[in-house]
């Protein structure tokens, strides 16, 4: 019974994170609410493998296989973010990265959100993978 209660609380917490981080996460410079959200998915071999597979399926077309923003379908007029550098326009915390993946990079961006296509745990695994290929950042 305790495990069911804990699982229910986690589901509601993740749902509220998704709602709270909505459009605010797309502001340049980040969002304090999204920045406060902690990644509930441990960065381990399984998460990184899942994150890599999901990244290659959903993100590499624009961000490139190595995350350099040079994918084959990348828009020519606005280059997608280089996920390996230290420049994070929409914030650099796990919560802010989650919000951008889930909700898109904002109205001026061609990057649309993956909410509805990917589950929250899948998005968190992508966050873990991006951390693995990107610059070291304190979480």
In the chain, domain spans: 2-29+42-133
Higher pLDDT among residues 11 and 130, named by residue: 130
> What's CA 1's distance to the chain center, in Å?
32
b/e sequence 12-51, b meaning 16+ C-beta within 10 Å:
eebeebbebbbeebbeeebbebbbebebebebeeebbebb
Mean pLDDT in the chain? Answer: 83
Residues 6+ apart with CB under 8 A from 51: 125, 126, 127, 128, 129, 130, 132
Q: What is the pTM of this model?
A: 0.79
* pLDDT tops 60 at residue 88: yes
Please tell me the CATH code under which domain 2-29+42-133 is placed: 1.10.760.10
- How many whole angstroms separate alpha carbon 55 and alpha carbon 127? 9
* pLDDT tops 90 at residue 131: yes
Cα distances from 121 to residues 110, 115, 124, 135, in angstroms, run: 24, 11, 5, 22
Longest CA pairwise span in the chain (Å): 54
pLDDT score of 30: 79
* pLDDT tops 60 at residue 3: no
Higher pLDDT among residues 9 and 26, named by residue: 26
31-81 tens-digit pLDDT: 899 999 999 999 999 999 999 999 999 999 999 999 999 999 998 888 899
Find out whether 19 and 96 touch, Cβ atoms under 8 Å: no
Higher pLDDT among residues 127 and 90, named by residue: 127
pLDDT grade for 135, boundaries at 50, 70 and 90: confident
């Amino acid at each position: 019974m305790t495990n069911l209660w804990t699982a229910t609380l986690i589901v509601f917490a993740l749902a509220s994170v998704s709602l709270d981080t909505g459009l605010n996460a797309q502001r340049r410079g980040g969002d304090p609410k999204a920045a406060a959200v902690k990644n509930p998915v441990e960065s381990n071999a399984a998460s990184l493998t899942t994150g890599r597979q999901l990244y290659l399926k959903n993100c590499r077309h624009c961000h490139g296989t190595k995350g350099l923003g040079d994918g084959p379908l990348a828009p020519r007029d606005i280059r997608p973010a280089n996920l390996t550098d230290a420049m994070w326009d929409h914030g650099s915390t796990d919560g802010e990265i989650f919000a951008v993946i889930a909700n898109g990079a904002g109205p001026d961006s061609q990057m649309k959100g993956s909410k509805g296509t990917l589950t929250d745990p899948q998005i968190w695994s992508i966050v873990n993978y991006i951390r693995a290929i990107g610059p070291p950042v304190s979480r």
